[in-house]
Amino acid sequence: MKRIIVALVCVNLGLAAFLGYAYVKRPAYQTPPPTEEAALPETKTISSSAKSPPAVRPLKLSKNDKFDWRALASPNLRQYAANLRAVQCPEETIRDIMLAEVNRQYGSREALLKVRPEDRQPWEVVPTSEKRSNESKLRQLLLEKRDLLRELAGVDVPIETPPTLAGRNIEKFEGAYNELPEAKREQVRAIQEKYWGQSDDIKRRTIGFLEPEDREEYARIKTERRQELAKLLTPEELENYEIKTSATATALRSRMSGFNPSDEEFRSIFRLTQPLDEEYSLITGTRDREDKVAEAKRKEVEQHLQAQVRAALGEERYTEMERSRDPTYQNMIRAAEKAGVTRESALQAYEAQKVMRDEFSKVFQDPNLSMEERQQAAAAMQAEAEQTLQSILGEQAFEALRRANPGQFGGQAFRQRIATDVVRAPKTP
**According to the model, what pLDDT value does residue 269 have?**
96
Q: How far out from the chain centre does Cα 134 lie?
A: 17
| Helix ranges (DSSP H) in 207-291 | 212-232, 235-245, 247-255, 263-280
∠ CA 399-403-405, rounded to 5°: 115
Phi, psi angles (nearest 5°) of residue 27? -70, 135
The one-letter amino acid code at 428 reads T
**According to the model, what pLDDT value does residue 115 have?**
80
**According to the model, what pLDDT value does residue 189 have?**
92
∠ CA 351-357-358, rounded to 5°: 90
208 three-state secondary structure:
coil
pLDDT in tens, the chain (429 residues): 555 554 554 545 444 444 444 434 444 434 344 433 334 444 343 344 444 555 677 666 666 666 677 788 888 999 999 989 988 899 999 999 999 999 998 888 988 888 877 788 877 877 777 777 788 888 888 888 888 988 888 877 778 888 777 778 888 998 999 999 999 999 999 999 999 989 888 888 887 787 888 888 988 999 999 999 999 999 999 999 999 999 999 999 988 888 889 999 999 999 999 998 888 888 876 666 777 888 888 889 999 999 999 999 999 999 999 998 888 788 778 777 877 878 888 888 888 878 877 887 787 778 888 888 877 887 888 788 788 888 888 887 777 777 766 655 555 555 555 555 544 544 444
∠ CA 42-48-53, rounded to 5°: 50
Phi, psi angles (nearest 5°) of residue 138? -65, -40
Residues 6+ apart with CB under 8 A from 286: 210
Q: How far apart are CA 277 and CA 33, in angstroms?
A: 59
CA distances from 205 to 114, 188, 373 (A): 22, 26, 61
Nearest Cα neighbor of 222 from 173, 164, 285 is: 285
Strands 164-165 and 168-169, sheet pairing: antiparallel
**According to the model, what pLDDT value does residue 157 have?**
77
**According to the model, what pLDDT value does residue 9 have?**
46
**According to the model, what pLDDT value does residue 258 have?**
81
- Tell me the sheet residues that pair with 169: 164
**According to the model, what pLDDT value does residue 134 have?**
84
Domain boundaries, the chain: 246-325, 329-424
